[in-house]
Every structure is written in C-alpha cells, then in structure tokens.
Chains A and B, each alone.
Chain A
Amino acid sequence: MLKTIFTEEKIEKIRGSLKEDNHFFEKRKLSLDSFYSYPLPSNKSEEWRYTDISFLDFSKFDNDIKNPEIKMDGFHDLLKEKGVIFTTIIEAISKHPEIIKEYLFSKKDNYEDKFLALHKAMWNGGVFIYVPKNVEVDTIFKVKYNVLESSSLFNHTLIILEQGASLTYSEEHTSEKGDYEAFRCDSVEVYAKENSKLNFNNFQNWNDNITNVSYWSARVSRDAQVNWRFSQLGGKFSRIKIDTHLDGEGSNSTNKGLVYANKNQKFDITTNPHHHVRNTISDVLVKGAFDGESNSVYRGLILIDEEGKETQSYLSNHSLMLSENAVSNTIPSLKIETDDVRASHGATLGKIDKDHLFYLKTRGIDQKSGERLLITAFLKETIDDMKDVELKEKIILEIEKKTEK
C-alpha cells in the first residue's frame, strides 16, 4: 500500500517542482530506502510503548503530496538589508542552495525513525530563516499554516542564527473543517550559534482530521539560548519529539508546553534535553489536561554526558485528569554519567482541586465556570512568559473555548 504512495516518482515530481539539484535528490532516494527498511513503530519499541498508531491508514489521505496554505509576516526591508533571510524553503533552495546544503539534516546525532526518514525523502515545503551575526530581529516572524484538503504534508523549518543573533518566531497551525483527512510529517531544525537567542513558539489547533508526527531538534552553541514553547490543542493524533543538544558551555534551553486533550484525541510528547558539555542549563515544564476518552503520553529524559559537570537540569510534568475515561502515561527519566550536577524531575497527576473549586464557588462562581477557570489557569503557566503576546492571548482564548466543548 505504502509503496504506491511514497515512490521515487513522487520524489522526481518534488524535484521538478522545487528545481533542486542532484545532491538533494540522492539524499531523498536514500531516505526513502531507509523509510521502507524501518518497521512501522509498535509497542515493542520503547519510544512507542504507550502509543498505538496502528490506526494510521495512509489510504485515507489523498495520493498527492501537497503544500498547505502558508502566510508569512514580520519581515521588513531593513532586516533584508542586514542580510536576514525569511522565506519559504522552496524559494531558498534555488536562491541559497549552498546554505541549505550545509545545514539541512546536518546535525550530528544520527537520530532517525521511520517517520523522520519519510520526511527526509518527501520534504517539499516550509520556512527558511537565516539571521546574520549580531543582528537582533526586532519584529516577530510569524507563519500561519492552514491545511485545506486531504493530503500528506512534509514541511521543513530550518532556522539558523549566527553568532549574537536573536529572533522570536511563531508558527500557528490550523485546518479547514471538512470531510477529509490529512497527514503531517514535519520537522524543525535549529542551529543557534554562539551567544544567539531563539524564542520558538508553536500553536496548533487543527480540526480532528489531522494526524501529525513531528520531530524538532536544536543544536545550541556556547552561551546560546533556545526557548521552545508549544501549545497542542487540536488534531486526531499529534506527536512531537523535541531533542535539544546543549553543545556549548553556558548554553541554555527552556522547553515549556501544554497539551489539552478531549474526546478521542491522542497526544504523544517527548522533550529530551541532552547536556553534552559542562555548565549547561535546561528547564522543562509540560502540563496536560486530559478529558473525554483521550490518551496521552509524555516522556522527558534528562541526559547528562560524562563531560556535563556543573550542569543544572530540571523537569516538571503535571497532569490534570478531567475524565475517568482519559488515560495518561508519564515517563520522566534521568540518565546521568557524571557527578557535580543538579538534576531533578517531578511529576504529579491529579484532578481539579476541590478546595480551589469551593473557594471559587463561595465567590459566586458556578461549577462549570470554576472548572473552566481552573483548567485555563493550570495550563496557562507554561506560556506565561511567551514573548509573542498576541499569540499567547489567542492560545488562552482557544483553551477557554475548548473548555466549553
């Protein structure tokens, strides 16, 4: 079945439409082979132990590989003059092929699974951002994706910050309602050079016709900082795995995110900070509210290498159980190869605090409104410090709307 969907002809077609050179084409072919060589993940592999994706039926998606609607905002001429690039990756491949060649899929860790291999074979859209040395982008770069029809979508986001550069980037995902299903298999790749700073904001509020498997990664150099923020509300199934490699001394990363699941939604979130060198800091906070018959998995592994002395790494995960039919799996882990580190994780699972609810009631707030307030307040903590205030307010609004469903 798959073999008739993801074929070399498809890759040829993408090559034609992107006008890419052979370098990319050869890599695509190799990745396609890898894709077929991996078995479909099952609960036998640790990463997918609690996530059943046997429902994934590629025949439901239109045979064609398409691009979603994309809107970009925040770029201006002054930035252009300074050498900042903010464009679609399709355009970048013809205009800046050398930079793309240098960075695309170049990270050293060799992590790959079936879906990432598929993405590497099929990527055909997305965004490319390049910020030159010491340029601080004064606007927020915003990208809005909207899925319109049945398709398989492979967006790649490549962000390169040179030494001392800084950027706030926000992406928003939606889908048109309709009697169709779409599959997204995206990847985000970040290179934050010395002393640079990236705020990466993600918000998705798809309809329940989207299945998503995404892989994000960042390489963070000396004294650089990468702040991930994600808000996952929509979709039928959404998986995000974030690997943050703290490569340089003094590098720092925060991972904060929220998941709000209801009905039959499934989420699978992984945040793994890897401390490769000494004196690096990471802070992870993930919160989930689980309603209906939703089923969610959260994994967070703190990895500290032998060289990672004087490292600080904290991870918290809090789950709010809103329905007796919801399922939550939490696996916060530590793997530490040296001493002189400060690492800890904490996880809690519970339901809405009756005392809090009572307190609100004594102030005249009814049960339902009280619950809504408490759910929103609970989730909101993860985006409180989001630099894109407009997006933050929108997310809060959407959370409130969802509590009414």
Chain B
Amino acid sequence: MSKLEIKDLHVNVEEKEVLKGVNLTIEQGKIHALMGPNGSGKSTLSFAVMGHPKYEITKGEIIFDGKNVLDLAPEERARLGLFLSFQYPSEISGVSLSNFLRTALNSVKYTKEKRIPVMEFRKLLMEKMDLLKIDKSFASRYLNEGFSGGEKKRSEILQMAILEPKIAILDETDSGLDVDALKIVSNAVNTLAGPEMGILIITHYQRILHHVKPDVVHIMYDGRIVKTSGPELAMKIEDEGYDFIYKELEKEV
C-alpha cells in the first residue's frame, strides 16, 4: 500500500518561512481534507510536495512509498504516482490538451520503447471526458487557454483520471465552480477514489465536503497542522467558522 508521509516540513518562500513543521500522512484508499484560513500555508504544502523550485525546504522530509522524494524533479514525483490538481493551472498556447495528455501519459505510465497506441489513447480520453461531462472539442483546444474557471478545474480532474495517481492533492478544486460543476467534479472524484487512490482535498470552504466524504479532516493554521479529527470537524467549522480553533490555540499558549 502506498503512503505519503510528511515529517516536520519547514518551507521558505522568498526567504520567508511559510510552513513551520508540518506532519501529515496520507494512505492510499483514504480521503483526507486539509482546511484552514487563507494564508495558512495550504497551497504551499501542495507545491512543496510536488517540488516547485520556488519553495525551499529548509527542514523535514517528504517520503513516498518509503522513498525520500525531496531530491526528485517534479516529473519524477509524477512518475512515482503523485498528482497535484492546481488551484490556478497554467495556460499554454499552441499545445493541445490531447497532445499534452498523451505526452504526459506516455512519460508516466509507458516507456520510450513502448508507447500507448494513438487509437487506444483516443478511446481512453473519450471515455474519461464522458465521465466528466467534458465537451469533446476540448481535446483539440490549447491547454487551459481561454478555459473558464470551471473548465480549468474539470481539465485538472480529467488529467487525474487519465494519469491514475496513487496520491492526489486537489488544491482548492472547488473554488470558482458553480453548483452544477461542483457536482460533476465531486462525482468524478468519488468515482476515481477507491482503494487504489489516496486523496488530499485542500479547501477553504466546506462545500466540496458535502459531496466528497473525507475520512480525516486536518486544520492548518500559521504553517502547522493544529488539529486532526474525523469528518465531524468539517461540520463544526461550517457551523462555527474557524474561531473556536483560534480560541483553543490561545488557551494552549
């Protein structure tokens, strides 16, 4: 069983410490939710796990399947089975979504010698697009260029569906989605989830958690995970906001 372990992770962004010792373990087959106010470091954690060069790890470890991934390039982490659904996916002109996905799939799941046959890929792509109710014309459109907010998020989930990672981090996947789009994306996540995939849903609000039931909920505050509990924690935050957490923290201090 695959496992992503984050141990005492400290991360600097432009010389400012944003993560101040994060501990978190995500197993395949489980859905975790990471919540917390804006600026608490949630997105930083996702970029650090994926290896963005701007995020400097000053201390700690990220271990995936027993292997420290800190020295690995982002594409190597992707090949091991890590996936990040971006909050703000890049737009890349001239590169069609289908061409991009085939290249990605070939590098993640195939080898230079053995590539996925074009027809087989087309079939796979159409199947997954159906699942996500994505218009077929998207395949020939340029990567995220001119996509609406909801279309970008669906394109991210489509990529997840095709690359079938072991651990997926969904960074604010629910932001910018209307109710219908949120349902489509949530259904897709539920379909993809299962014993083979571990998911970390990063969210500020609770909306998506009505559709995707987490097994564990973590609260992040000021660069640390300050509380971990069952799904009832998300409900509590929905009712009371983050204030009770702040109060608990003050007490501790």
Q: Do chains A and B touch in the complex (CB under 8 A)?
A: no
